[in-house]
Amino acid sequence: MKRTNTQKITFALLYSISTVLAADSAFAVSENYPVVQREKHGGFEVAPIAIDGLKARDQFETEHFRVSYKKEEAALTLDRISGIVAEKKKADAEKPPTSDEARVTPRDEETLKLLAANVLYHAEKARAFFVDVLKSEEVKKMEQIVVRLDLTNRYSQFERFTNDNYQPQFNNALSIEGGTPFKPKPGLNPWGREMWFRPRKEIPIGELLAQMPEDPANAQLRQARQTLYPMQIDLVIRDTLYAIFQGRLTTPSFIDSVTRQTGTLILMEGAFQVLKVVNRFLIPQKFYLDTALVPEIVYHEFSHLALSDSMKPDVSTPVNEGMADFFAASIGGSPKLAKKIKEFSTAVGKNGKKRQFFQIEYESLGKAQSDFVLGLLWGLREKLGETYATQVVFGARKFLNTKDSDIRDGLVRALLRSCDTSCESPLRDRMVIHQFLQDRGL
Ligand SMILES: [Zn+2]
């Protein structure tokens, strides 16, 4: 059919209007990048997917997140990735790395691209969950979050990054709150909330175990963990992960009450499912982990930020770790992981007590408590339905703070109070929650 002149003009007009609109929405474009994706039956694969809302096709930045390399403020671009790889090659040629430095795997362009695309894609997915499913106004209003790759610095509440040489961190992940410099210094500005992912460094497991001083509570912990985690992960690797995620390997003392823990061991199991596929590794004698590749770890870290309007991510407690994991598992929606969490929380332990039953001994077993909290919150999904349970748990953060909320007091009360505003029928549902908590020894 021949177009009339009017049609041609309309087309031209529409075209120019859409160009103006596109320019107006901060040049948001979409581009395909490979990311880690879950297959239908629980496995993972690396496959290209469209990342929407990019500020430029070759730049890992959206309105909500900016992926940066180490301490850089500019967004990572394909150009910068080539630069990073070239600079490293040049530096290594001038001064060969020591044997310890050589354990930090040098990045190639493909890997850096995968890491950047993967954190950005999954961070957007986590944000969408809080904004679209939970209708969170706070998350919708969040500042642009900086996501750092390969940063080794520890967090300092006074100036964001501790000195480069102070206890560099590897193989773990962290989220930080915003802050202002304690003392004015040139180049030191206030910062917003951020998510940090460490470089991967190969650690021979034997060396690692030798490095770990015996913790007086260790034997007790190990025994508890053996009964609590009926998982396939090798016990040694499990202990290793546990130590790495607590940052214990680089702390002078094994017992360090302020070290952060990232997540529960149930999620660690999820991480291993990913790693088996993407990380062509799992050499039994060595350990390393690219946390930026694991969707559940990205969800976990973002969940800390989504909860951070009342639960600061500066200290790890069973309640805030268990909650972050509850959302990580909800966002991930892995049926395999859901089954594991359920199996864990309903199984019967060696002492004949149900694991789902709150035991006072948990108070002295930090990690076990996080898993208990995850299992507990997950159980609510069956009682209230997935949507309401997720809303009640999210609403509970308003009645919790990181420092003084324990399970028996803080969490129970917060869930019941949250129900007053989030439940379909508060009177009835409060009874349901009350009964459910009582059945679990709370
Ligand atoms: Zn955490």
pLDDT tens, position by position, 311-327: 887 777 778 888 988 99
pLDDT at 247 over 60: no
Residue 266 Cα, ligand 1 centroid: separation in angstroms? 13
Query: Which of 405, 404, 413, 410 has the alpha carbon at shortest distance from 434?
Result: 413
Q: Flag whether 7 is in a domain.
A: no
Q: Flag whether 2 is in a domain.
A: no
pLDDT (mean) for 79-95: 97
Residue 421: domain span: 28-439
pLDDT at 94 over 70: yes
How much is the pLDDT for 239?
52
| Domains contained in the chain, number | 1
Residue 306 Cα, ligand 1 centroid: separation in angstroms? 12
Q: Flag whether 23 is in a domain.
A: no
Residue 329 Cα, ligand 1 centroid: separation in angstroms? 13
Residue 176 Cα, ligand 1 centroid: separation in angstroms? 10
Residue 163 Cα, ligand 1 centroid: separation in angstroms? 23
Helix, strand, or coil (residue 51): strand
Residue 245 Cα, ligand 1 centroid: separation in angstroms? 9
Residue 323 Cα, ligand 1 centroid: separation in angstroms? 9
Residue 318 Cα, ligand 1 centroid: separation in angstroms? 9
Residue 33 Cα, ligand 1 centroid: separation in angstroms? 27
Q: Flag whether 4 is in a domain.
A: no
Residue 247 Cα, ligand 1 centroid: separation in angstroms? 12
Q: What is the spatial distance between Cα 299 and Cα 312, in angstroms, rounded to a whole number?
A: 16
Q: Flag whether 19 is in a domain.
A: no
The lowest-confidence range among 110-124, 298-312, 313-327 is: 313-327
Residue 98 Cα, ligand 1 centroid: separation in angstroms? 32
Question: Residues within 5 Å of ion ligand 1 by Cβ?
Answer: 262, 321, 324
Q: Flag whether 385 is in a domain.
A: yes
Residue 26 Cα, ligand 1 centroid: separation in angstroms? 33
Per the confidence metrics, is the pTM higher than 0.85?
no
Residue 82 Cα, ligand 1 centroid: separation in angstroms? 32
Q: What is the dihedral of CA 120, 42, 223, 279, to 10 degrees?
A: -50
Q: DSSP secondary-structure letter at 411? A: I
Q: Flag whether 3 is in a domain.
A: no
Residue 252 Cα, ligand 1 centroid: separation in angstroms? 22
Type and span of the H or E element at 114: helix 109-128
The pLDDT tens digits for 143-185 are 999 999 999 998 888 999 999 988 888 877 889 999 999 888 8
DSSP 157-210: TTTEE--TTSS---S-EEEE--B--SS--TT---B--EEEEPPPB-EEHHHHHH
Q: What is the spatial distance between Cα 321 and Cα 323, in angstroms, rounded to a whole number?
A: 5
Long-range contacts of 164-167 (CB under 8 A, 24+ apart): 167/250, 167/251
Give the range with max mean pLDDT: 12-16, 297-301, 412-416: 412-416
Residue 313 Cα, ligand 1 centroid: separation in angstroms? 8
Q: Flag whether 334 is in a domain.
A: yes
pLDDT at 342 over 70: yes
